[in-house]
Chain A
Amino acid sequence: MFDLNFLNFSLLAFFGFFIGILGSVLGVGGGIFIVPLLVLALGVPIHQAIAVSLVAIVATSSAVASVNVERGLANMRLGVALEVTTALGSIIGALAASRLSSNLIHFFFSIMLAAVSISMFLKGRRSLKRVSSGHFQAAAGGAGGALDSSFFDPSTGSHTSYRVKNMAPASFVSFFAGGLSGLLGIGGGVIQVPVMNLLCGVPFKAAAATSNFLIGVSAAASVFIYLRKGYLIPDLAAVIVIGVLLGSFAGMQILYKARSEKIQIAFSAFVFVVAVKMFMTAF
C-alpha cells in the first residue's frame, strides 16, 4: 500500500515541515493540507490519511498550546467548558467516518475545502482593506463571569480583558466542530475560532489560542477510535508529526510577524483547486 523508503521519508518530512510553517502563517490546522497530500499525491486511503492528520493535530496543538498557556493567551476555563461537547462530537464524527464509504468522505472533504477556501479569500481581502484594524474592545471593569479573562497583547503593549457570553449556543456549535474534526481529520479551528470570536466575544488572538488548546483533546478522542479500528499507519504518522512539529516551531519563530493576508488569498485559490480535485475523486 505505502512504502516508506528513504526518499518517501525525506519528502514527507519536508512536506510536513512546509505544512507546519503554512499552518502557523495562515492560522489553519494542518489537516486541510495533510489529508489531500496523502490522498491525492501518495494514494493513501482516506481513512488512514485522516488518522495520520489527527495525530499531527494532537502534536501541533500540544506543542503550540504549551506556549499559549504559559503566555496566558489561551483561556483554559473556556477551553475545558467547550471541550465537553467538542469531544463528544469528535467521537461521533470518528464513529460515523468508520462506517462511511471513502467516496462519501472524499465528497464531504471537498465541500469543506471549498468553504475554507472561500473563507480564506474573504478573510485575506478584509485584512488587506483594513489599514489598522481596531483592536478588540476591552471589557469594562468590574467583576465578571468565571470564564472571563485577560491577556497581554505585545502588539498593543497592554492587557486586553474580555467577557465571555453566549456559552450555550457556542457549546452547541462546538459539538459540530468536533464532529467535523472526527469525520474529516481537521482540527475544527475553522469553526471554533469564529464561534469564540463572534459569538462569545473573545478577542481573535485569544480565540485562536483557545481553539488550538482544545482541538488537541477532540483530535485525541478521534485518534483513539481510528487506532482501535486499525486505520493508523505508525511510520507515516511519525514522519508527518516530526515534519509538522519542526515546521510549526519554525513558523512561530521566523514568520510570526509576516503579513499573511496575501499568502492567504494566494492559498485560497490553491485550496479551491485541491477541493475540485478531491471532488472529482469522489465519483
Chain B
Amino acid sequence: MDENFSEKKLGKLIQRTLLSGVFLSLFFFFLGFVFRLTGSAAADGLLRTGVWLLALTPAARVIMLVYGYCRTKEYHFALAAFTVLSLLLVSALI
C-alpha cells in the first residue's frame, strides 16, 4: 500500500471533487438565470451545461476512486469503481 496516500487523503480528494462539481454547476445555473433575465439565448446552453456538470460529478468522483484505490493497491475496489464508471458511460451512450 502507498503509505503517502492514506484513506484520509482519498477522502479529501473525493470531497474536493464533489464540491467542485456542485459549485461549478451552481455557477452555471446562476449565470444561466442572469442571462435568462436579460433575454439572452445563451441561457438555455448555460443551464444545460450546469445540469451536465452536475450529472458528471458522481462520475468524476468514481474516477478519483479508481485512482485512489490504484494508489493504495486495493485493486479489487479499483476494479469495482471502474465497473461503475463503465456503467455510467453505457448509460450516457444509450
Interface residue ranges, A against B (CB under 8 Å): 9, 55, 58-59, 61-63, 65-67, 69-70, 72, 76-77, 80-81, 83-84, 87-88, 90-91, 94-95, 146, 216-217, 219-225, 227-228, 232, 234-235, 237-239, 241-242, 245
Contact = CB atoms under 8 A, between A and B. Distances in A.
B84 A232 contact: no
Contacts of B70: none
A224 B11 CA distance: 26
- Prevailing SS type, chain B contact patch: helix
Contacts of A59: 22, 25, 54
A81 B80 contact: yes
A60 to B, nearest CB: 9
A146 B73 CA distance: 13
B47 A62 contact: no
Nearest to A64: B18
A130 B58 CA distance: 37
Nearest to A62: B18
B62 A217 contact: yes
Interface in B24-50: 25-26, 29-30, 32-33, 36, 44, 47-48, 50
- Prevailing SS type, chain A contact patch: helix
Given A80-B65, A227-B51, A242-B29, A217 B58 contact: yes
B54 A63 contact: no
Contact of A91 (B56, B62, B90): B90
A238 B32 contact: yes
